[in-house]
Amino acid sequence: MSIKAMYTATTGMTAQDANISVIANNIANLNTNGFKSQTTNFQDLFYQTIRQPGVETGPDSILPTGIQIGSGVRQEATAPNFAEGPLVQTKNTYDIGIAGNGFYQVQMPDGTTGYTRSSSFTQDNQGRIVNSEGYILIPAITIPTNPAPSTVTISATGLVSASYSAGGTSTTVGQIQLATFVNPAGLLNAGGNIYQQTVASGQPNIVTPGTNNNTEIKQGWVEQSNVNMVSEMTNMITAQRAYESNSKVITTADTMMQTANQLKS
């Protein structure tokens, strides 16, 4: 049985090693705009049933409990936390934070659509609104460059307007749209603040901010990471203690095996 205990404890150490990796990634992205933290979910492994609960022991009696010995734990999933991060004012024209649910859509180099909560955008050499990697915002919005407007205004409903003089008439140049998902936890994290659609996430639902929802666009604001440093430090200490405890189980099981071998000799 000591060998079984060593194996079980090893699965615990492996699980906590994966847990620490997730926590480390959260802490590393503390200052990444639009980053969503993850938590590690675990599940127990199969059980060896030595005595089945409910077995009849007599004409009018059954075993109230059984004997089952578990074989450890494994990492079940890394669950993303899509809670909104704090919005911070920057006053930059193309910093457009999302207050509420939804993702910006950007065109990836391979032609597919990526989804992001990162709210720092800029213009490329053609006047198109792009993210920091140069991926074009979908639907594409081009700000006129000849002549360049004096002011670009983005409303709470995502309407992009250009003005050419103070107090002058505004011209609408585009409409920002957002994508929502039935199961955003099913999105694939592709890195670079980009998520990709999967079968688990379902098809995107394209919505206009402020239309039958509580979501709005905030020009001149960015959404920061939703990582809670206090919680992550607490989780890290808990994972460390669990790892050390499983290590102690292996040491104890090894000592027990040595004692048993000495008795035989």
3, 23, 28, 79 from 186: Cα distances, Å: 38, 20, 23, 9
> 107 and 25 share a domain?
no
Q: Beta strand pairing status for 170-175 and 159-163?
A: antiparallel
Query: Are both 116 and 144 inside the same structural domain?
Result: yes
Domain span at 253: 2-44+73-82+227-264
Q: How far apart are CA 149 and CA 156, in angstroms?
A: 20
Task: Encode pLDDT of 136-186 as tens digits.
Answer: 999 999 998 888 888 999 999 999 999 987 666 788 999 999 999 999 999
> Do 28 and 129 belong together in one domain?
no
Residue range 59-97, pLDDT digits in tens: 888 888 888 888 999 999 999 999 999 999 999 999 999
Q: Are residues 158 and 242 in the same domain?
A: no
Q: Which percentage of the chain shows pLDDT scores above 90?
A: 74
User: Domain check: are 239 and 206 in the same one?
Assistant: no
Domain count, the chain: 2
pTM here is 0.87
Same domain for 211 and 237: no
State the first-to-last Cα distance of the chain, in angstroms, to the nearest integer: 19
Task: Please indicate, yes or no, whether residues 180 and 194 belong to a single structural domain of this protein.
Answer: yes
Is 61 within the bounds of a domain? no
Residue 67 lies in a domain: no
Same-domain check for residues 201 and 91 = yes
Residue 160 lies in a domain: yes
Q: Is 150 helix (H, G, I), strand (E, B) or coil?
A: coil
Give the pLDDT mean for 22-27.
97
Q: What is the CA radius of gyration of the chain?
A: 27
pLDDT of 178 reads 96
Q: Are residues 200 and 233 in the same domain?
A: no
